[in-house]
A and B are shown apart, each in its own frame.
Chain A
Amino acid sequence: MPVTKISGVKIEAMTACVPANIADNMVVGGGIFSEHELKNVLKATGIEKRRVCKNDDTTALDLSLKAAENIFENTELKREDIGAVVFVTFTPDNQMPNNATLVQRQLGLGNFIPAFDINLACSGYVYGLWISSLMAYNMNKKVLFLDGEKQSHLTSKKDKSTALLMGDAGSATIISPDKNDNEWFFSFETYGEDREALYIPAGGARSPLKKEDLDYVEDEDGSSRRNIDIKMNGMDVFRFVIQKVSSNIKSTMENVGIEESEIDFFAFHQANEYMLKQISKRNKIPFSKVPISIDRYGNSSSTTVPVTICSEKKKEITEKNNRVLLSGFGGGLSIGTGIIDIDEIYCGGILEYEE
């Protein structure tokens, strides 16, 4: 498996932001599970509460902008220092144009910069970090990298496999060119043949929105959803995570020649707690080195990686040097894994967005 290397960059700042509005799964889950089932589902997935936007017109862009503004307010970073904007999302404000150009306007950044989105689901933060790092090095300029998703409007409250899982969140990360000795490594895997394990059937160009796509249709297990909602085949995604993701992490570490003991913490995409335990078990990673945020924030797709780092590791990343393994995996099906450094950066933690 190929592993790509990059050096000469650093993370300078990172902040995440979630809606202040809390969805309590004990309450929301009552409609689709029996009391006993619900208790077991919450125990296995580890998701007690989630953050979801209350208003229709709050978006991933709003959450991510608040995170970015926090960095400008609390660091020496100036608008004119930003040489590019990269936004990872599959839920942009508009189908066209992209979110990154709106960030350029909203934050008052210069006109002579590239600004574009990357469409990816759960593996997206690692991709965004990789591309932003290459750009920062190549352009010798700081890159503003935002990663945010609003999935609540694409999730059926009557779907057993997704209703208690999905959350909304935004984040901002600053990547800067830097003369240091750190070496970062990235590996990626793509299984387009399994794309329907996790996808949104209608509303794209292949199946333009029709009136009936807004109707709730019931399936075999009693769940119901619209064609514009996220549809997940639980078993297929489970198999992918347990087998492909576990072995990707093992191969990446072997190829880089790094031991578990040399990594300070493993920031995994918060798919669900049970799956993270299985990945850790298969790779002999002590679960104490796997920070968990899904219990309070839910699964916000790719944004779970910065949310987890900002909520669980703020103290560590602001006070000392850390060797960190990041891994995002899901929709595509797609895996992105990175081994990077986060050394005494500015971190604004988790902000709350009031609606």
Chain B
Amino acid sequence: MEKENIFLEKIADILECDTDTVSMDMDFREDIEDWDSLKGFSMLIMFEEDYDKKVSVNRFLECRKVKDLYEEVQS
């Protein structure tokens, strides 16, 4: 749980919203008001720096929910 919460905090920081509004089931592109591709780029950088995971843009585009992203960095 601890690991998941840390991940959610990092996602919330990039999305510029409160941590408690972000959940694993959140559709991160649809469920926030002002999604744009620069936030997506920020997530990819975060995966590289904090999880040592290089996720391709195409793979990222297939992820719909926050838990899909979490699975990518845990794999």
In B26-75, the 8 Å CB interface with A consists of: 34-39, 41-42, 44-45, 48-49, 57
A59 adjacent to chain B (CB < 8 Å)? no
Could you count the A-B residue pairs with CB atoms below 8 Å apart for me: how many are there?
Answer: 35
Q: What is the chain B residue whose CB lies nearest that of A273?
A: B38
User: 10 closest Cβ contacts across the A-B interface?
Assistant: A238-B41, A40-B36, A44-B36, A274-B38, A40-B34, A44-B38, A235-B41, A242-B45, A41-B36, A235-B57
Determine whether the beta carbon of B35 is less than 8 Å from that of A40: yes
Chain B residues near A (Cβ < 8 Å)? 34-39, 41-42, 44-45, 48-49, 57
From B48, which residue of chain A is reached at the shortest CB distance? A239
In Å, the complex CA distance between A40 and B36 comes to 6
Residue A243 at the chain B interface, CB threshold 8 Å: yes
Question: Can you list 8 A-B pairs with a CB-CB distance of less than 8 A?
Answer: A40-B34, A44-B34, A44-B36, A44-B38, A238-B41, A239-B44, A272-B38, A278-B42
Q: How close is A240's CB to chain B, nearest CB, in angstroms?
A: 11
Closest to B57 in A: A235
- 1/0 per position for A38-63, CB-CB distance to B under 8 A? 01110111000000000000000000
* Cα of A39 to Cα of B35 in the assembled complex, Å: 10
- Is the beta-carbon distance between B36 and A239 smaller than 8 angstroms? no
Chain B residues contacting A275 (CB-CB under 8 Å) are 38
Taking a contact as CB atoms under 8 Å apart, the answer to whether A235 and B42 are in contact is: no
Contacts of A272 in B (CB 8 A): 38
Question: B34: which A residues are within 8 A, CB to CB?
Answer: 39-40, 43-44
Q: Give the residues in chain B near A40, CB-CB below 8 Å.
A: 34-36
